[in-house]
Amino acid sequence: QSALQALKAHVVSDPQKILETNWSITTSVCNWVGVTCGSQHQRVIALNLSNMLLTGTLPPQIGNLSFLTSLNLMNNSFHGSLPIQLANLHRWRFIELGENYFYEEIPSWFDSFPKLQYLSLSANKFTGQIPSDMFEILPKLQSLNLGMNNLSGKIPIDLLKCKELQFINLESNRLEGILPKEIGNLTMLRSLHLNNNRIQGKRKKIILFRIAR
């Protein structure tokens, strides 16, 4: 409860008054809008605040939700950097932070989530290079969406070690260099979006690469 109260306190605008009217300490957090608890231990396992038009920042206390497996903040106005305390959430399987205003570089501690299957940081303000070491321990990653940011540099080779990848979206960044030939080792890959970058194939610029099975 204290972790979610800290998140509520960091929300500076709640135009639909969802948190204001529903997140009350007089009721169990398991009954709060957007909160899902486990059936056995009654601990918070999922937090879905998508499309609530919230404005605010993420407090470090979120890292205390040790049973959290899913976080969806899509289409809000959360901003600032991602607190390092999120690296404590080793059970994460689903992370959707798309269409917010998170900035600075993508933290390399995403390699702390060996069970992670879905990661979307699209349509934010992330800058810098995609950290190569964040992919070293993501064996279950199936979907990666980093499109529509301000990322630069090359596609990290370590990304291609995630053999379960089915979907990759890196479009609308400032990436450059040659598309690694090791992309062919991703036998599960169905769709790869690279348009609006400066990534080159052997002969021409890559606009959209889609694999159909």
Query: Does residue 171 contact residue 195 with C-beta atoms inside 8 Å?
Result: yes
Give 22's contacts (C-beta < 8 A, 6+ positions apart).
Answer: 32, 33
153: left (phi over 0), alpha (psi -120 to 50) or beta: left
pTM confidence score = 0.91
Give the Cα separation of 57 and 100 in Å (integer). 10
**Which domains are assigned to the chain?**
1-193 (3.80.10.10)
Q: Give the pLDDT confidence of 64-107 residue by residue, as tens digits.
A: 999 999 999 999 999 999 999 999 999 999 999 999 999 999 99
The pLDDT profile of the chain, 213 residues, written as one tens digit per residue, is 999 999 999 999 999 999 999 999 999 999 999 999 998 888 999 999 999 999 999 999 999 999 999 999 999 999 999 999 999 999 999 999 999 999 999 998 988 999 999 999 999 999 999 998 888 889 999 999 999 999 999 999 999 889 999 999 999 999 999 998 889 889 999 999 999 999 986 544 444 444 444
The Cα 28–Cα 25 span in angstroms is 7
